[in-house]
């Protein structure tokens, strides 16, 4: 074997050229951009909010009117985009191709915020339901406990019944005779 073919064989069997080995990372032609997804998301939301305002529509309308007026009338001898306004159309197409993904990104971020809010609402509702059920059980147990306690009305009615029984047995004078006083059998 010649020296040149042996160099080719050794170069072909290096780990970078073998099919069963992963390739090493190589630097690309373009510099690698660091992307902060949160910052870009905020930019997309701001952009989407601005595109949905009357201010944006007003400025876009003024821009189109000026563009068409300059190119139709030829003010100051300028006519860079004649009647079919192909350049203006290209401008709108480019704007739309950038605006649509940015608006979708903003909508996705809003949907994520809504989802988190709904999950928080659901967990708060579950806690409120558990608290309400606990309080309901406590109130029910208090009611059961109060049924076993003598209430003021119950005690009054029992005392009236006892007074009535004592009057019937003639152990006390009726209330109409100046009060309920015991009768002494020796004084009668």
Domain boundaries, the chain: 40-173
Answer for the pair 51, 99: CB distance below 8 angstroms, yes or no: yes
- pLDDT classification of 21: cutoffs 50, 70, 90: confident
- pLDDT classification of 5: cutoffs 50, 70, 90: low
Q: pLDDT averaged over the chain?
A: 80
Buried b (16+ CB within 10 A) or exposed e, 93-116: eeeeeeeeebbebbeebeeeeeee
Q: Which two tokens mark 54? A: 């009357």
What is the Cα–Cα distance from 156 to 158, expressed in whole angstroms? Answer: 5
Output the pTM of the full model. Answer: 0.47
Q: Which two tokens mark 141? A: 């147990």
For residue 1, what pLDDT is reported? 55
Asked if the model's pLDDT at residue 7 lies above 70, the reply is: no
Which residue, 73, 93, 92, is CA-closest to 83? 73
For residue 154, what pLDDT is reported? 81
For residue 73, what pLDDT is reported? 79
- pLDDT classification of 118: cutoffs 50, 70, 90: very high
């Amino acid at each position: 074997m010649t020296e040149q073919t042996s160099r080719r064989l050794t170069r072909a069997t290096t780990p970078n050229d073998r099919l069963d080995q992963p390739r090493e990372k190589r630097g690309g032609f373009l510099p690698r951009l660091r992307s902060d997804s949160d910052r870009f998301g905020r930019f997309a939301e701001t952009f989407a909010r601005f595109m949905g305002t009357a201010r944006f529509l007003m400025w876009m309308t003024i821009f189109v009117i000026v563009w068409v007026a300059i190119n139709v009338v030829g003010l100051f001898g300028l006519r860079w985009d004649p009647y079919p306004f192909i350049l203006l159309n290209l401008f709108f197409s480019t704007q739309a191709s950038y605006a649509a993904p940015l608006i979708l990104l903003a909508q996705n971020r809003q949907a994520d915020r809504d989802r988190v809010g709904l999950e928080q609402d659901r967990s708060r509702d579950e806690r409120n339901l558990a608290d309400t059920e606990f309080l309901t059980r406590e109130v029910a147990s208090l009611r059961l406990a109060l049924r076993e306690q003598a209430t003021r009305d119950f005690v009054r009615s029992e005392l009236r019944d006892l007074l009535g029984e004592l009057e019937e047995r003639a152990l006390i004078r009726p209330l109409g005779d100046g009060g309920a006083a015991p009768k002494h059998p020796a004084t009668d």
